[in-house]
Amino acid sequence: MENDNRTVVKEFILLGLTQSRGIQLLVFVLILTFYLIILPGNFLLILTIRSDPGLTAPLYFFLGNLAFLDASYSFIVAPRMLVDFVSEKKIISYRGCITQLFFLHFLGGGEGLLLVVMAFDRYIAICRPLHYSTVMNPRVCYALLLALWLGGFIHSIIQVALILRLPFCGPNQLDNFFCDVPQVIKLACTDTFVVELLMVFNSGLMTLLCFLGLLSSYAIILCHVRGSASEGKTKALSTCSTHVIIILLMFGPAIFIYTRPFRALPADKVVSFFHTVIFPLMNPVIYTLRNQEVKTSMRRLLSRHVVC
């Protein structure tokens, strides 16, 4: 098919994470290990929260949704990576590339907004405890959940709409192991300065503002907790510190990738690998290991099934 006497790109060739067979084998084993051990742990976390009547607080409701988002996010890039490691040609169709990009930003944007919702939940619980049951009632929780899914969709559809307007006539080699905005835009057969600027505002600025807002909110919460003498002070500090760890793990790489001009750096692939493959599987595990109620409930669930 031709467009203005130029061949339209129908597929992209992925250059992959590395050309070293030794490193490829190491990464293959690492991803497979994470899938076989940590991914089932995420689903166990969801099952535990849904089956235990003692874990009905909004905190656990949102934690279960975080595990679901992370598990879903981990299926966007990693499975194809595993297949590409044993394939001679790493090819993805144009439609497949756009689909991968859409879900990457749809679920990633939703997760970022979910962390904002979780920060709001912790602020009300710790700084306004008398109003907590009124403000964070089930109807509000579901409305917030719907809002973050809608926000993730809007964020992603803007990315896709901007890219679909670009002409691609060759070359078609993506210097990455998956389709993402910075690499795809660079292959367009036109000046992409305005599009890059819009992408930075859509992804980069939103990510940076959420990150700074989250850090500020948790700083306020921690200051409030330090000045109190309540029995739940230690628990509140532990929960908030866990949230801050997850925020740094998620937003740190995203800021590195999306808040600067789309210029390739040596660290891009490594940062993207941890951002898209490793961290999504680890996030709910970090929450679980630092939450005594969830660990106790999970042990009860496992022992009940073992006995049966």
Per-residue pLDDT of the chain (308 residues; tens, 9 = 90+): 344 445 488 899 998 888 888 888 888 888 888 888 778 878 888 888 888 888 888 989 998 999 899 889 888 988 888 888 888 788 999 999 999 999 999 999 999 999 999 999 989 988 888 999 999 999 999 999 999 999 999 999 999 999 998 999 878 899 889 998 888 998 999 888 888 888 888 888 889 989 999 999 888 888 888 766 565 667 777 778 888 888 888 898 999 888 877 777 778 888 988 888 888 877 767 777 777 788 788 888 777 765 55
Q: What is the pLDDT of residues 28-80, one digit of tens each?
A: 888 888 888 778 878 888 888 888 888 888 989 998 999 899 889 888 988 88
Helices 58-85 and 138-164: crossing angle, nearest 10°? 30
**Domain 11-298 belongs to what topology?**
Rhopdopsin 7-helix transmembrane proteins (1.20.1070)
Q: What is the pLDDT of residue 134?
A: 92
Q: What is the pLDDT of residue 1?
A: 38
Widest distance between CA atoms in the chain: 74
CA distances from 297 to 25, 49, 54, 57 (A): 37, 8, 8, 14
For residues 278 and 243, give the distance between their C-alpha atoms in angstroms, rounded to a whole number: 17
User: pTM for the complete prediction?
Assistant: 0.89
For residue 29, the tally of other CB atoms under 10 A from its CB is 11
Q: What is the pLDDT of residue 141?
A: 95
Percent of the residues in the chain that have a pLDDT greater than 70, as a whole number: 94
Sheet holding 11-14, edge to edge: 91-93, 11-14, 173-174
**Mean pLDDT across the chain:** 85
Q: What is the pLDDT of residues 102-114, one digit of tens each?
A: 999 999 999 999 9
For residues 16 and 35, give the distance between their C-alpha atoms in angstroms, rounded to a whole number: 20
What type of residue sits at position 23? I
Helices 94-127 and 58-85: crossing angle, nearest 10°? 150
Output phi, psi for 273, to 5 deg.
-60, -50
